Amino acid sequence: MSTAVTNVKMGQGPHLMGTDRSDQPASLLTARTAIVAVLSLGVAVVLGDAGVVTLALPEILRDFGAQVWGVAWVLIAFNVVLALVAVPAARLCVRGDPAVATASGVIGFAAATTVCAVAPSLGVLIAARAAQAVGGALVIVGSLELLVAATGVERAGVRRWAAAGVAGAALGPVIGGLLTSAFSWRAIFVVQIPIVLLALPAAIALRGRAVQRRRPTLDTSPDRPHLLANLALALLSAALTAALFLLVLLLVDGWTRSPAVAAVAVTAVPVAALAAGPVFRGVRAGTRSEAVAGSVLIAGGLTGLALLPGAELAWTLAPQVLIGLGLGLSVDSLTAAALRDRIPRALHGGWTIAARHAGVVVGLAILTPIFTADLRHAQTPAEEAIASLVLDAPLPASTKLDLAEQLGRRLAAERGRVPDLRPAFKTLRVPATQAPAAAALERGLEDQLKRAATRAFRTSFLVAAGLALLALGPALALRDRSRS
Amino acid sequence: MTRLALPLIAVLLVAAVLSVQVAAGGGHYVPLRPANPCTPRPVSPIPAQLEPLAEQIVLLGLDSAACQLGISRERLVLALAETRSLDPRESAALKAGLVDAVDLLDRQGRLPKVSQLLPQALDQANLPGIVKTIIEAIPDPVVDNLLPTAPLLHRTVDELDINRLLHDLNDPRQLNSGLQSAILRAALRQILDRLHP
């Protein structure tokens, strides 16, 4: 890496841009590949941060002894600030050198991430998350210009930037969940610091390159943002928030799966998103058809999550694959459409980031009250189902009375959350002849709780599917231009 | 046509996934809905023992009371478990429900004879040994003639202090004691009525 960067700094840089790869020495190609890789990684890390703490929220809540609404701000603060500062950060890149902006952003992001990792209180963590978003905004929009400069081809640079964003957004919750399970929520931030710092030498190496490249266009007034593509991106981001945020909540809180299992289960979305390109290569026919197909797939996948026939992880896979394919097709395509032939590029990149994260915030704002209210309302049918099974269980009345007392305590202790009824059965003393009936009752009660939790998420998933369908409006109005 | 290919594939994929899910019961994965308490439930055979008989009467009685109160049996049970007390209307509905349950089992010929329940009742009763011996010596036909099951259970329901029983739900000893004294009082009243009509 260091040799490659040195080569670029020693005046061989111009060969990196806009020249035929076959003319370049292998070391330059390696340098270019390395620079593109670390910049893409930086973009993926920053955009992954939007949802990286989703699976860590319960642990953060416990660590700080905070309220649910307070902990939700760890997620919301990053997205709100990123949506607000993406365009101003892009203007900064346009006025100055994107490499300097990116390097400053990397340093700011790494510093804020360090504070997140050692945050002594929830307030400090939320403030550091907001600071992370400010640094992150500079990294994202600056990297767009740098990736175009490094690849030497506008379309390739933009595509790489969009793909890195899609991969980061889709993989963020998965990686966050795995790190939280393996170590702690603080590990999420510790791991990010060295990864994002890799982009620093790449940004320094490209100092002045992006300015050189855009010089002829500086005097022209900026193009207006692509309203339709950005609107579709915002709506799809709102819907995708549901896909990742609500699904992990359903798995962890509703179905009482561990964060690690939930993290592995939701990998279907990023895997399908990354596979969308190769899978549909033969039939990709332009921005509009891709955006329309993507919206349909995301809406269909979310409807599938609303209509789960059971609480087995396998049932979530096909809907997740639909969502992932839709994500891979539409976000990539809409981002390319929003940037195509528009200058300054960084500013329009900033608009797409602002649109996507405003969508995430709007999605959370719409869906959170719906599913929390539904979860509360699910309590009555769940309690009635439990009462029904206990009353009709083939157990002696005295055992049922004992069990009812224990279950009542569990339900009262975890009011507002899906209760864990296993302790009630662990303390139950039954003769060996009644053990199978007691075990069957325990399984039956757990099934009823899962049914109630799954039902409680249905409306939220359907509303999210509605948001994805709304994206069809702007998607259909797009001009259908071929990507190739 | 090429431009329609991708959206068409998307629609087909979504239709395939949703069809499989709906066919597997996707729209109906919801918690068990409480049965209508006004619709009679099938009654399983009752062994000639006190606890299963009492349980069956309580379950049928809860249904009947819930039907009168216009709520589900489960809602009534949860309300009882939470408040551990009844207002006069609920108490009357519950007693009426228990009486209805006894009548239903009587009509279906499912009530065991008192002579069948007596050995177990005596075993659990806190009576002097001599009294138990005397009662055991009474021939079964005499016991069943003096204490027909349905009227005995009607009187027992009358004697029950429902609020007290609810209060003692977590204390099996107190609960049994309350039930036994209600049965004993009912039996005595019934015997006295038979001797002095």
Chain B residues within an 8 Å CB radius of A296: 7, 10-11, 14
Summary mean pLDDT of chain A: 85
pLDDT of residue A214: 57
> How buried is A113 (Cβ within 10 angstroms: 0-12 exposed, 13-18 middle, 19+ buried)?
buried
CA A11 to chain centre: 39
Spatial separation of the C-alpha atoms in residues B173 and B128, rounded to whole Å: 19
* pLDDT of the residue at A1: 38
Q: In this complex, is the C-beta atom of A293 within 8 Å of any C-beta atom belonging to chain B?
A: yes
CB nearest B81 (choices: A293, A309, A408): A408
Tokens read off for A252 = 């962890």
For chain B, the structural domain boundaries read 50-195
- Return the pLDDT at B193: 83
Range of weakest confidence among A25-34, A41-50, A159-168, B132-141: A25-34
DSSP per residue, A307-365: T-SSS-THHHHHHHHHHHHHHHHHHHHHHHHHHTT-SSHHHHHHHHHHHHHHHHHHHHH
Give tens-digit pLDDT for B13-64.
999 999 999 999 998 999 998 899 998 888 878 888 888 888 899 999 999 9
Size of interface A-B (CB pairs under 8 A): 148
What SS3 state is found at A98?
helix
A314 touching chain B per CB within 8 A: no
Q: Are A138 and A87 in contact (CB under 8 A)?
A: no
Closest among B92, B95, B93, B59 to B77, alpha carbons compared: B59
| CA-closest candidate to residue A446, choices A372, A382, A378, A375 | A382
List, for residues A167-218, the tens digit of each pLDDT value. Answer: 888 788 888 888 988 999 999 999 999 999 999 999 998 887 766 655 555 5
For residues B188 and B86, give the distance between their C-alpha atoms in angstroms, rounded to a whole number.
Answer: 28
Closest CA to A396 of A426, A424, A422, A433: A433
Q: Which of B179, B34, B162, B9 is nearest to A397 (CA)?
A: B179
Q: How is residue A124 written in tokens?
A: 């400090």
* Percent with pLDDT over 90 in chain A: 40
List of chain B residues whose C-beta atoms are within 8 Å of the C-beta of residue A292: 6-7, 10
- Choice between A50 and A34, residue whose per-residue pLDDT is larger: A34
Which of A305, A322, A384 is the best mutation test for B, with the most CBs of B within 10 A? Answer: A384
Residue B17 and residue A304: Cβ atoms within 8 Å? Answer: yes
Tell how far CA A440 is from the center of its chain. 39
How far, in Å, CA of A236 to CA of B137, rounded?
Answer: 84
Q: Report the C-alpha gap between A378 and A228 in whole angstroms.
A: 38
- Higher pLDDT among residues A470 and A207, named by residue: A470
Do residue B26 and residue A309 have CB atoms under 8 angstroms apart? yes
* Residue matched to tokens 């069957």: A440
Indicate yes or no: CB of B7 within 8 angstroms of CB of A296.
Answer: yes
CA distance A179 to chain B (A): 32
Report which residue type is found at A196.
V
Nearest to B26 among A308, A388, A391 (CB): A308
pLDDT for res A280: 85
- Chain A partners within 8 Å of B74 (Cβ): 383-385, 387-388, 391
- pLDDT of B80 reads 83
Instruction: Say whether A388 and B35 touch across the interface (CB within 8 A).
Output: yes
Closest to A158 (Cα-Cα) out of A309, A336, A17, A317:
A336
Q: What is the pLDDT of residues B86-100, one digit of tens each?
A: 788 888 899 999 999
R_g over Cα of chain B: 26
Residue A402: both structure tokens together:
């004992």
Residue found by looking up tokens 């795995």 in the block: A178
Q: In sequence order, which residues have a C-beta less than 8 Å from that of residue B90 and are 6 or more positions away?
A: B65, B69
pLDDT in tens, A94-106: 888 999 999 999 9
Q: Are B137 and B175 in contact (CB under 8 A)?
A: no
Q: Which of A374, A383, A403, A448 should be substituted to probe chain B, the one whose Cβ sees the most B Cβ atoms within 10 Å?
A: A383
> Residue A232 pLDDT more than 60?
yes
Counting DSSP H helices and E strands in chain A, the numbers are: 22, 0
A-chain CB neighbours of B11 within 8 Å are 296
User: Which residues of chain A are within 8 Å of residue B54 when distances are taken between CB atoms?
Assistant: 397
pLDDT of amino acid A246: 85
- Estimate the crossing angle of helix A435-470 against helix A287-306, to 10 degrees: 150
- A323 contacts chain B (CB < 8 A): no
Please name the residue that has the structure tokens 């979305």. Answer: A269
Name the architecture of domain A224-484. Answer: Up-down Bundle (1.20)
* Cβ–Cβ under 8 Å, residues B66 and B73: yes
Nearest C-alpha neighbor of B41 from the set B100, B91, B93 = B100
> Which tens digit of pLDDT belongs to each residue from A370-426?
888 888 888 888 888 988 999 888 888 888 888 887 887 777 776 666 777 888 888
In the block, residue with structure tokens 């009530």: B111
**pLDDT of the residue at A46:** 92
Residue A144, chain B, CB below 8 Å: the answer is no
* Cβ within 8 Å of residue A220, ≥6 positions away: A343
> Strand locations in B101-189, DSSP E?
none
Q: Give the pLDDT of residue B1.
A: 55
The residue in chain A having the minimum alpha-carbon distance to the alpha carbon of residue B26 is A309
- Shortest distance between the Cα of B196 and any Cα of chain A, in A, equals 37
pLDDT of residue A480: 64
Which residues in chain A are closer than 8 Å to B169, comparing Cβ atoms? Answer: 401, 405
CB atoms within 10 A of CB B83: 11
The residue of chain A with its CA nearest to that of B62 is A391
pLDDT at B12 over 80: yes
**Closest Cβ–Cβ partner in A322, A378, A454 for B14:** A322
What is the predicted pLDDT for the residue at A417?
A: 67
pLDDT attached to residue A85: 95
CB contact under 8 A, B6 and A405: no
| Cβ within 8 Å of B, A 402-441 | 404-405, 408
Question: pLDDT tens digits, residue range A292-314?
Answer: 999 999 999 999 999 999 999 99
A283/B contact by beta carbon, under 8 A: yes
A347 interfaces chain B, CB cutoff of 8 Å: no
Q: Which of the four pLDDT bands, split at 50, 70 and 90, describes residue A342?
A: confident
Q: Mean pLDDT over residues B153-163, rounded? A: 87
Are B25 and A309 a contacting pair at CB < 8 A?
yes
Chain A residues inside the 8 Å CB shell of B172: 398, 401
Q: What is the mean pLDDT of residues A253-273?
A: 87
Residues of chain A with Cβ-Cβ distance to B13 below 8 Å are 297, 300, 322, 325
Confidence band for A481, pLDDT divided at 50, 70 and 90: low
Question: Where along chain A do its domains lie?
Answer: 1-7+26-215, 224-484
Which spans in chain B are helix H? 2-23, 50-69, 73-83, 88-107, 114-124, 129-137, 140-146, 149-159, 162-167, 172-195
A174's tokens: 């998965």
Q: What is the pLDDT of residue A212?
A: 60
Superfamily of domain A1-7+26-215 in CATH is MFS general substrate transporter like domains (1.20.1250.20)
**Interface touch A289/B5, C-beta < 8 Å:** yes
pLDDT digits (tens, 9 = 90+) for A431-443: 888 889 999 999 9
In the prediction, which pLDDT does A5 show?
A: 39
